[in-house]
Amino acid sequence: MTRLSALLALAMLTSISAQAQTYPSHAAWLIVPFAEGGPTDLIGRIAADIFARHLGQKFVVENIGGGGGTIGALRVARARADGYTLVLGHMGTHAAAPALYPDLGYDPESSFEPIGLIVEQPELVTVHRDFPANNLKEFAAYAKANESKINMGHAGVGSVSYIGCVLLNSAIGIRPIMIPFAGTAPVMNGIVAGNIDYGCDPVLNPLPHLRTGKAKALAIAAKKRSPLLPNVPTSFEQGMPEFDCAPFYAVFAPKGTPKEVVDKLAAALNKGLDEPAVQKRFADLGAFIAEPARRGPKALTELVKSEVARLGPILKTASAK
């Protein structure tokens, strides 16, 4: 290394570290890799509000949909690692995607600095209110008899709505027509309108439509019922334990983001998740806030690692059926 390049490298490091100390000195972006109005968007907007209030700068939500969330996640993996571009990732973008995309362009484990887990939430299988089935047994019978025409809406290969329904389809043994959208807010609109037969998505998305009776839920993909939907039986109760899906939602920064910045973001998120108003907001949406021991960069690093290892074989088996 010449004397000049050594000086330049030193100057750059000094400048990054000086910037980290005053972070955030201007507005930052939180990329939501799906359409507006869906679960990732809702959770992302709550997270952006937490960062803004605790760090004193605007955190602007930008929706970059497509590719089951992998387009927005890739954008952040390649962004400047200065803490001003973050992504709201989930079990799909940051755990399942490598098993589904051979040329993903990023690695959930090595392309990001994990900031912290926000919530986990089980999925529901939801249908139009007049759909001719009221439980998983009736759904399986109808879907098998109508396999060539039944359709399923999802938010792209690798999205959590795709993964949940793949587990369900595989348990039943059907291959429906799969219709991709940029997010699951439009999938729910399709179900309510009667254009889409079914979808699988975290509780908070179908919840308002279940409350107005425009859609109905056939099962929750979990061992326990949701306190918000005590009448919706679990997949386990209905003899379909393979349909078990409770995606995590978390914040990630690009790899190489200075530790001071990661620590500031993690501390802000942690404080926000302890606020009674935030806890009520998530509880009203049927989402479970991460326990304190499961928050922060270290716990999220471990979660991503274990979820990548868990989902790879499950998805291979599911799509092989």
Q: Which residues bind ligand MLT (CB under 6 A)?
A: 34-35, 38-41, 69, 92, 155, 159-161, 183-185, 201
Q: State the minimum distance, in angstroms, from the CB of residue 315 to ligand MLT.
A: 14
Our CB check for ligand MLT shows the closer of 85 and 161 to be 161
Give me the least distance between CB of 203 and ligand MLT, in Å please: 11
Q: Which residues are within 8 A (CB) of 188 and not within 5 positions of it... i.e. 6 or more apart?
A: 126, 199, 201, 205, 206, 209, 215
Shortest Å, Cβ 225 to ligand MLT: 21
Are the beta carbons of 240 and 219 closer than 8 angstroms? yes
Please identify which residue in the block is written with the tokens 């999220």: 300
Q: Which residue's beta carbon is nearest to the bound ligand MLT?
A: 38
Shortest reach from residue 10's CB to ligand MLT, in Å = 43
In the bound state with ligand MLT, the residue whose beta carbon lies nearer, of 161 and 170, is 161
Residue nearer to ligand MLT on the CB measure, 19 or 37? 37
**Contact predicate 196/190, CB 8 Å:** yes
CB 8 → ligand MLT: shortest distance, Å? 42
Cβ neighbour number for residue 48 with a 10 Å cutoff = 22
Q: How far apart are CA 290 and CA 234, in angstroms?
A: 22
Nearer to ligand MLT, 20 or 167 (CB): 167
Q: Which is nearer to ligand MLT, 188 or 262 (CB)?
A: 188
b (16+ CB within 10 A) / e for 201-220 = bbbbbbbebbeeebbbbbbb
